[in-house]
Amino acid sequence: MQQPVVRVGEWLVTPSDNQISRKGRQLTLEPRLIDLLVFFARHPDEVLSRDELIDNVWTRNVVTSHVVTQSISELRKSLKDGGDCSLEYIATVPKRGYKLTVPVVWCTEEGEVPAPVIAQSAPAAVADLSDPASAVEIPQGLPPSVKPQKPKRASTFWVWLLFLLALGTCVALVALSTIDSPKPRNKARLLLNPRDIDIHLVKGGTCTNWASQDAWAVGLGSLMTTSLNTFSTFMVHDKTNYNTNEPSSSGKTLTIEFVNQRHYRAQQCFMSVQLVDNADGSTMMDKRYFITSDNQLTIQSDLMSSLSVALKQPWPERMQAMLKLYQPSDSSAITHFYQAHQLLMNGDVDSLYKASQVLDDVIKDSPDFSYAFAEKMLVDVLRHSQQTLDKEQLNTLYAEIKQLGEMPGIKDLAVYYQIKTVYLLGQGKIDEAYSAINTSIEMEMSWMNYVLLGKVYEMKGQNREAADAYLTAFNLRPGDNTFYWIQNAVFQTSVTNVVPYLDNFLASE
């Protein structure tokens, strides 16, 4: 039997389609938000605590109160629908929970209205004995608590009148929702791509040391994105730097979150990594890691192995060889490397300078970490493109690039050709830069490669091809960092002239 339709304030909620609609406006929400809204509708005018919501909406998942708060915020935003004067649908009751504050009417296509939830009645009005006009005469023979029958009959009349009005409203609303919601359009909007994956990092965790581990989580997201896009049939979108709440057609979502959990009579900070199939809400992978200063490499290896099993995607030998280059002998070096990598992704001069310093320390502590040396060369070449180095610094840079090319295995990595692309563009050697960046793309599908490809196309005067490359880069890693790279990396780009679609897309958020 089809789930009943419910009217919540101005919105008509259709749980079976995960949709809400009003005045010709129709929105598709995530199934979890629909479940949350329906649970509120089943308990109108009741204060619901976070624990009650977790027990009844997130019945099979272990979640924190932060997830509830975030879901309430998303639901409020959807119900407000961009309006400044909309009703306040869900009110926060301090230290108690949340309450739905708008009228609720249930109905089905047959016009049946389930029995209304009877709220606790308000105390009967008591006459003011100091005011003779307010005195009410109680018939003799009746106890003081018994009310006369005539007001009761009048009350019954109004109840039946309201019932009939609600019944008529329900029938009309169901008919309108059927007319205004063509089924083919709804199905198209709900279609998911099972080979697409979104990677999210939940910001603002409750762990005290969450900020210090943020760079490491961002680095893991980048590693998983590049690995899957390069060596599997999945298309992954790294949204760890993209906080916009918008509908996604990706069939799967991988979420990284730092949560507090009791561990040996104390609260410990764990990194939770969860892969969910959005088609049916099932959990494909659920890992919890307690992070220490010497187990990051072990966690990284286990996570990549678990991801391979969950997606039924065996890693090829070339990828395994690449992953070994991400594993220095000193486990703590990987944490500092990811801090430098996050600074590199920021792209501005100050961040690049800090990244170069951090990588200097990493190389000193772990001289066998050849990938860190390559990353430092890329950082310094980009610094030179934004802030000219003096002659001595340039000579040192060119010598280090030559030394890098002689390291074992480096020429099999995309980062080497990224360095060559930036260097050749600075020398005005466009055709050689074009060859270098295409070699890099053959080795690795990453947002950085497509940003650099766009820069090469711009230098060739092919702005249409440059726009395609920039849009591909933003699709792989949407967010302010990628947009800054498109505008400022190597040389400044006029987004309005070269890729106006992206400019309009960001302006409409």
Domains of the chain: 5-116+156-186 (1.10.10.10), 193-325 (3.40.50.11830), 342-507 (1.25.40.10)
Q: Are strands 235-238 and 104-107 parallel, antiparallel or unpaired?
A: unpaired
Residue 178: φ, ψ to 5°: -70, -40
Sheet holding 97-100, edge to edge: 47-48, 97-100, 90-93
Residue 394 to residue 414: CA distance in whole angstroms? 23
pLDDT of residue 152: 46
pLDDT of residue 457: 96
DSSP 8-state class, residue 476:
H
Q: State the residue for tokens 């890992």.
A: 287
- Work out whether the CA dihedral 370, 320, 303, 280 comes out positive or negative: positive
pLDDT of residue 174: 64
Residue 327: φ, ψ to 5°: -125, 90
Residue type, 52: E
CA 14 to chain centre: 24
H or E stretch including 174? helix 149-180
pLDDT of residue 177: 58
Full-model pTM: 0.62
pLDDT of residue 445: 92
DSSP 8-state class, residue 506:
H
Residue 371 to residue 82: CA distance in whole angstroms? 46
Is there a contact between 163 and 105 (Cβ–Cβ < 8 Å)? no
pLDDT of residue 189: 53
DSSP class per residue in 306-336:
HHHHHTT-PPPHHHHHHHHHT--SSHHHHHH
pLDDT tens digits, the chain, 509 residues: what are they?
Answer: 456 788 888 888 888 888 888 877 888 888 888 888 888 888 888 899 888 888 888 775 556 666 788 788 888 888 887 665 556 788 888 878 888 888 888 875 555 454 344 343 333 333 343 344 443 343 444 344 334 444 445 557 777 777 778 777 777 766 665 554 444 443 445 588 999 999 999 875 566 666 567 888 899 999 999 999 999 989 999 999 887 777 788 999 999 988 876 655 556 778 899 999 999 999 999 998 888 778 888 898 999 999 999 999 898 888 888 877 777 877 778 888 989 999 999 988 899 999 999 999 999 988 888 889 899 989 988 988 877 767 787 788 778 888 888 888 788 889 999 999 998 998 899 999 999 999 999 999 999 999 999 999 999 999 999 999 999 999 999 998 999 999 999 999 999 999 998 888 887 65
Torsion angle in degrees (nearest 10) through CA of 226, 342, 398, 420: 30
